[in-house]
Chains A and B, each alone.
Chain A
């Protein structure tokens, strides 16, 4: 009955099964769906009004319309992308279902790929209405960024997956006691990624740290596009290169943490 040939290599069938599992879960709970919409909407409305107020009173922001609200939306792609990934993972911990999955033919890479797809689905549910709100309330057309938006999006989502993979490994190894890292780690990146201000604002030594983070390149790129009407391909390529390294490193870390969890018996306890 079991098709063993599928156990070699990556199985789209098993990835599809996991996506179906998270889809059922999402659709079974309206508060979960509402939460996906609620926070992004709150963010864009708050920052949109701040931007409107500042634009009326500051010459720079009057010229650079959309930098604040654009940054808010891009930040949400980064943050919600990681949360979308990590929350799907945490659902397995909360449900005490991880043992069932680990004992099934599902491979770690298939599990992670299904989480990346769920991250995209959850992101779409939250961010698309957010961009529509920005358009109708503040006349900021996020999609007006054009093709560069694809480069921004890809770089941000890759970073969010790297962080998501790494923190999932930490939770796997340390149990739900490490859950708070899922919610807070991205905020440690926030001041260094220079979301609302240019990198030049930071002290010299901190600028080196900032430039090691791919989101910094995206936010600098966004400001260059909105203020100078220039698309900085160089920034996007550098960010892509760092992201490639981060993805490989986070996957390696996940496997190492999984192995450590098996060594320490953490998969049996899984709790705090």
Chain B
């Protein structure tokens, strides 16, 4: 579907783009964290969807937010975006308080989520034009042309969004999420319902984008292979709390497992203590 030559050409184009930009680097200690979450709580009537979580994500990192259905991942991301107001606690994005100072950061971040769609009747080009204008993207036709080339949209760029396949829609949503070259990208299930080839292609693009732009990515996913491949840090949530927070390798070692999927099942089925005890016994012997 996506030839290697095309991919290399696109990757090369993105690298040139990154060189041209004046993005800060991770090593710059004067910068605040990309996301700081401090004792965040969200209560819906009787339900504590998020229960006092805290974490800080450095700029340029890719972090996976894991957890079963109802663990609080989407609510957490929504509070970071300012779509949901916390019951208590504090969120700072790119050094600004959310949602009070959202006007300072919304133009520097973007997101993709299965909870939203692009307007179906508008063509891909019309959609990207409108979002480009909303984000005040300069040289918008050039930016759209570049994204269309990088994300392989040219075959259907003048087709209505509603007439695209699931894979094509995902690439368009990704193009919208990248239209303003965000410093911070929030992704909720970015490869859900995609075939393995397209999903792999999307992951490769995200990896390249992070590397070339020193962007920070926070992604919620149920796909453990995806998280293992992309993320340099994993936050596991369960019932609104942070159950574990470390690198994928460290977490797998702690649970004495070889894949994150096994860790996920341990956490989901309450086998956390057994797994950790097993690891402790191994260590002591």
Contacts and interface: CB of A to CB of B under 8 A. Distances in A.
B171 interface: no
Interface of A: 1-4, 6-8, 11, 13-14, 16-18, 20-21, 24-25, 28-29, 91, 95-107, 259, 262-265, 267-268, 270
B33 to A, nearest CB: 20
Instruction: Pick the 3 closest A-B CB pairs, nearest first.
Output: A17-B133, A99-B116, A96-B117
B214 interface: no
Contacts of B131: 100, 104
Contacts of B82: 102-103, 262
Contact of A17 (B104, B107, B119, B134): B134
10 contacts: A2-B136, A6-B107, A7-B107, A14-B133, A17-B134, A20-B130, A24-B121, A91-B119, A97-B116, A99-B113
Interface string B75-87: 1001001111100
B138 A3 contact: yes
B108 A2 contact: yes
A105 B83 contact: no
Given A1-B181, A21-B130, A97-B116, A268 B121 contact: no
A202 to B, nearest CB: 43
Contact of B135 (A2, A21, A28, A107): A2
B259 interface: no
B104 A7 contact: yes
Interface residues of B, number: 43
B85 A263 contact: yes
A213 B136 CA distance: 40
Given A24-B126, A264-B44, A105 B85 contact: no
Contacts of B139: 1
Contacts of B160: 28
A264 B47 CA distance: 12
A98 B84 contact: no
Given A2-B108, A97-B117, A100-B118, A262 B83 contact: yes
Contact of A265 (B44, B108, B109): B44
B265 interface: no
B111 interface: yes
